[in-house]
Amino acid sequence: MRVLVVEDERVLADAIATGLRREAMAVDVAYDGAGALERTGYIDYDVIVLDRDLPKVHGDEVCRRLVAGRTASRILMLTASGDVDDKVEGLGLGADDYLAKPFVFIELVARVRALGRRSAPALPPVLERSGVRLDPGKRLVTRNGEEITLTKKEFAVLEELMRAEGAVVSQEDLLDKAWDENIDPFTNVVRVTMMTLRKKLGEPPVIETVPGVGYKL
Protein backbone atom coordinates (compact mmCIF):
# COMPACT_ATOMS: atom_id res chain seq x y z
CA MET A 1 0.00 0.00 0.00
CA ARG A 2 1.36 3.46 -0.94
CA VAL A 3 0.62 6.24 1.55
CA LEU A 4 1.35 9.97 1.57
CA VAL A 5 1.60 11.69 4.96
CA VAL A 6 1.04 15.46 4.77
CA GLU A 7 1.85 17.16 8.07
CA ASP A 8 3.79 20.35 8.78
CA GLU A 9 4.90 19.26 12.27
CA ARG A 10 8.00 17.42 11.11
CA VAL A 11 8.50 15.32 14.23
CA LEU A 12 4.90 14.09 14.07
CA ALA A 13 5.04 13.55 10.29
CA ASP A 14 8.22 11.50 10.52
CA ALA A 15 6.86 9.51 13.48
CA ILE A 16 3.68 8.64 11.57
CA ALA A 17 5.70 7.66 8.49
CA THR A 18 8.06 5.47 10.51
CA GLY A 19 5.16 3.74 12.24
CA LEU A 20 3.33 3.05 8.98
CA ARG A 21 6.50 1.70 7.38
CA ARG A 22 6.76 -0.75 10.26
CA GLU A 23 3.30 -1.92 9.15
CA ALA A 24 4.77 -2.81 5.72
CA MET A 25 3.43 0.28 3.95
CA ALA A 26 5.39 2.40 1.46
CA VAL A 27 5.24 5.96 2.81
CA ASP A 28 6.21 9.36 1.41
CA VAL A 29 6.06 12.60 3.41
CA ALA A 30 5.17 16.17 2.46
CA TYR A 31 5.52 18.99 5.01
CA ASP A 32 3.20 21.49 3.31
CA GLY A 33 0.23 21.64 0.97
CA ALA A 34 2.28 22.60 -2.09
CA GLY A 35 4.50 19.56 -1.64
CA ALA A 36 1.43 17.34 -1.32
CA LEU A 37 -0.06 18.61 -4.58
CA GLU A 38 3.28 18.16 -6.33
CA ARG A 39 3.62 14.52 -5.24
CA THR A 40 0.02 13.61 -6.02
CA GLY A 41 0.58 14.98 -9.50
CA TYR A 42 2.88 12.10 -10.44
CA ILE A 43 2.31 9.37 -7.82
CA ASP A 44 -0.95 7.46 -7.34
CA TYR A 45 -1.40 6.97 -3.61
CA ASP A 46 -3.82 4.52 -2.05
CA VAL A 47 -4.30 6.70 1.02
CA ILE A 48 -3.40 10.30 1.88
CA VAL A 49 -3.13 11.25 5.56
CA LEU A 50 -3.79 14.99 5.32
CA ASP A 51 -3.46 17.58 8.08
CA ARG A 52 -5.87 20.50 7.74
CA ASP A 53 -3.69 23.33 9.03
CA LEU A 54 -0.90 23.33 6.44
CA PRO A 55 1.38 26.14 5.24
CA LYS A 56 1.61 27.32 1.61
CA VAL A 57 -1.63 25.58 0.57
CA HIS A 58 -4.19 24.89 3.30
CA GLY A 59 -5.23 21.28 3.82
CA ASP A 60 -8.83 22.14 2.95
CA GLU A 61 -7.72 23.50 -0.43
CA VAL A 62 -5.52 20.45 -1.04
CA CYS A 63 -8.53 18.23 -0.38
CA ARG A 64 -10.75 20.31 -2.71
CA ARG A 65 -8.25 20.11 -5.57
CA LEU A 66 -7.73 16.38 -5.17
CA VAL A 67 -11.47 15.72 -5.14
CA ALA A 68 -12.03 18.06 -8.08
CA GLY A 69 -9.35 16.16 -9.98
CA ARG A 70 -11.26 12.92 -9.31
CA THR A 71 -8.41 11.37 -7.34
CA ALA A 72 -8.69 7.65 -6.65
CA SER A 73 -6.77 8.18 -3.39
CA ARG A 74 -8.67 7.91 -0.12
CA ILE A 75 -8.19 10.91 2.17
CA LEU A 76 -7.88 10.68 5.95
CA MET A 77 -7.99 14.21 7.35
CA LEU A 78 -6.20 15.08 10.60
CA THR A 79 -6.99 18.08 12.76
CA ALA A 80 -6.30 19.45 16.21
CA SER A 81 -10.04 19.91 16.75
CA GLY A 82 -12.43 17.07 17.51
CA ASP A 83 -15.46 19.36 17.28
CA VAL A 84 -18.39 17.79 15.44
CA ASP A 85 -18.84 20.82 13.19
CA ASP A 86 -15.19 20.59 12.12
CA LYS A 87 -15.62 16.90 11.34
CA VAL A 88 -18.72 17.59 9.26
CA GLU A 89 -16.91 20.39 7.43
CA GLY A 90 -13.89 18.18 6.69
CA LEU A 91 -16.02 15.33 5.38
CA GLY A 92 -17.99 17.86 3.35
CA LEU A 93 -14.81 18.80 1.52
CA GLY A 94 -14.62 15.25 0.19
CA ALA A 95 -12.41 13.56 2.80
CA ASP A 96 -13.20 9.88 3.34
CA ASP A 97 -12.43 9.83 7.05
CA TYR A 98 -11.52 12.22 9.85
CA LEU A 99 -9.30 11.78 12.92
CA ALA A 100 -8.72 14.31 15.68
CA LYS A 101 -5.36 14.89 17.36
CA PRO A 102 -4.09 13.53 19.66
CA PHE A 103 -4.89 10.04 18.40
CA VAL A 104 -3.91 6.50 19.29
CA PHE A 105 -1.54 5.22 16.60
CA ILE A 106 -3.16 1.79 16.28
CA GLU A 107 -6.42 3.55 15.42
CA LEU A 108 -4.66 5.53 12.69
CA VAL A 109 -3.23 2.29 11.26
CA ALA A 110 -6.66 0.63 11.32
CA ARG A 111 -8.25 3.60 9.53
CA VAL A 112 -5.49 3.73 6.90
CA ARG A 113 -5.87 -0.01 6.22
CA ALA A 114 -9.65 0.31 5.95
CA LEU A 115 -9.33 3.19 3.49
CA GLY A 116 -6.70 1.26 1.53
CA ARG A 117 -9.17 -1.56 1.01
CA ARG A 118 -11.69 0.96 -0.30
CA SER A 119 -9.21 2.45 -2.80
CA ALA A 120 -9.31 -0.81 -4.79
CA PRO A 121 -12.05 -3.27 -5.73
CA ALA A 122 -13.53 -4.80 -2.60
CA LEU A 123 -11.50 -7.67 -1.23
CA PRO A 124 -11.84 -9.66 1.99
CA PRO A 125 -9.70 -8.42 4.93
CA VAL A 126 -7.88 -11.78 4.94
CA LEU A 127 -6.49 -12.86 1.56
CA GLU A 128 -6.19 -16.51 0.53
CA ARG A 129 -4.77 -18.05 -2.64
CA SER A 130 -2.98 -21.30 -3.52
CA GLY A 131 -2.85 -22.39 0.10
CA VAL A 132 -1.32 -19.09 1.21
CA ARG A 133 -3.27 -17.04 3.77
CA LEU A 134 -2.33 -13.40 4.46
CA ASP A 135 -3.87 -11.31 7.24
CA PRO A 136 -2.80 -7.63 6.80
CA GLY A 137 -4.22 -6.57 10.16
CA LYS A 138 -2.26 -9.15 12.14
CA ARG A 139 0.67 -9.17 9.68
CA LEU A 140 0.41 -12.93 9.63
CA VAL A 141 1.17 -15.29 6.71
CA THR A 142 0.58 -19.02 6.66
CA ARG A 143 0.82 -21.70 3.99
CA ASN A 144 -1.27 -24.78 4.49
CA GLY A 145 -1.66 -23.77 8.14
CA GLU A 146 2.07 -23.29 8.83
CA GLU A 147 3.16 -19.80 9.86
CA ILE A 148 5.81 -18.08 7.70
CA THR A 149 7.96 -15.23 8.98
CA LEU A 150 8.49 -12.47 6.40
CA THR A 151 10.31 -9.15 6.39
CA LYS A 152 8.22 -5.99 5.93
CA LYS A 153 9.09 -5.78 2.22
CA GLU A 154 8.46 -9.47 1.58
CA PHE A 155 5.07 -9.09 3.26
CA ALA A 156 4.24 -5.98 1.19
CA VAL A 157 5.22 -7.69 -2.08
CA LEU A 158 3.20 -10.81 -1.25
CA GLU A 159 0.20 -8.67 -0.32
CA GLU A 160 0.30 -6.88 -3.70
CA LEU A 161 0.54 -10.20 -5.56
CA MET A 162 -2.40 -11.63 -3.64
CA ARG A 163 -4.51 -8.51 -4.15
CA ALA A 164 -3.99 -8.89 -7.90
CA GLU A 165 -6.00 -12.15 -7.73
CA GLY A 166 -3.92 -14.00 -10.32
CA ALA A 167 -3.20 -11.04 -12.59
CA VAL A 168 0.38 -10.16 -13.49
CA VAL A 169 2.00 -7.42 -11.38
CA SER A 170 4.91 -5.60 -13.00
CA GLN A 171 8.19 -4.80 -11.26
CA GLU A 172 7.33 -1.11 -11.63
CA ASP A 173 4.01 -1.60 -9.81
CA LEU A 174 5.72 -3.52 -7.00
CA LEU A 175 8.30 -0.75 -6.61
CA ASP A 176 5.50 1.80 -6.54
CA LYS A 177 3.43 0.00 -3.91
CA ALA A 178 6.04 -1.59 -1.65
CA TRP A 179 8.84 1.01 -1.70
CA ASP A 180 8.84 4.78 -1.33
CA GLU A 181 9.90 7.53 -3.72
CA ASN A 182 13.59 7.26 -2.76
CA ILE A 183 14.04 3.83 -4.35
CA ASP A 184 16.30 3.59 -7.40
CA PRO A 185 14.05 2.51 -10.32
CA PHE A 186 16.95 0.49 -11.78
CA THR A 187 17.58 -1.50 -8.61
CA ASN A 188 17.34 -5.29 -8.52
CA VAL A 189 15.66 -5.21 -5.10
CA VAL A 190 12.41 -6.67 -6.46
CA ARG A 191 14.20 -9.67 -7.96
CA VAL A 192 16.15 -10.27 -4.74
CA THR A 193 13.02 -9.92 -2.59
CA MET A 194 11.16 -12.31 -4.87
CA MET A 195 13.93 -14.91 -4.53
CA THR A 196 13.81 -14.85 -0.71
CA LEU A 197 10.01 -14.78 -0.70
CA ARG A 198 9.80 -17.84 -2.94
CA LYS A 199 12.26 -19.69 -0.72
CA LYS A 200 10.24 -18.93 2.41
CA LEU A 201 6.92 -19.93 0.80
CA GLY A 202 8.42 -23.32 -0.04
CA GLU A 203 7.41 -26.02 -2.51
CA PRO A 204 5.63 -26.31 -4.82
CA PRO A 205 6.31 -22.77 -6.10
CA VAL A 206 3.30 -20.43 -6.07
CA ILE A 207 4.90 -17.31 -7.57
CA GLU A 208 5.36 -17.38 -11.33
CA THR A 209 7.67 -15.11 -13.32
CA VAL A 210 6.17 -13.83 -16.56
CA PRO A 211 9.27 -12.92 -18.63
CA GLY A 212 9.40 -9.28 -19.61
CA VAL A 213 6.12 -8.54 -17.84
CA GLY A 214 6.25 -9.26 -14.09
CA TYR A 215 5.05 -11.76 -11.53
CA LYS A 216 1.82 -13.46 -10.56
CA LEU A 217 0.58 -15.73 -7.80
pLDDT of 74 reads 94
pLDDT of 54 reads 95
Which contiguous run of DSSP H or E holds residue 146?
Answer: strand 146-148
pLDDT at 120 over 70: no
pLDDT of 217 reads 94
- 212: exposed, middle or buried (Cβ count in 10 Å: 0-12, 13-18, 19+): exposed
pLDDT of 156 reads 92
Task: Convert the pLDDT of each residue in 19-67 to its tens digit.
Answer: 999 988 999 999 999 999 999 998 989 999 999 999 999 999 999 999 9
- 121 or 16: which carries more pLDDT confidence? 16
**CA pair distance 22, 105, nearest whole angstrom:** 12
How high does pLDDT run on average in the chain? Answer: 90
Nearest to 98 by CA among 113, 86, 110: 86
pLDDT of 123 reads 54
- 211: exposed, middle or buried (Cβ count in 10 Å: 0-12, 13-18, 19+): exposed
- 132 or 119: which carries more pLDDT confidence? 132
Query: Is the CB of residue 176 less than 8 Å from the CB of residue 190?
Result: no
- Work out the end-to-end distance of the chain between its first and last CA atoms, rounded to an integer number of angstroms: 18
pLDDT at 124 over 80: no
pLDDT of 85 reads 73
Percent of the chain with pLDDT over 70: 95
pLDDT at 176 over 60: yes
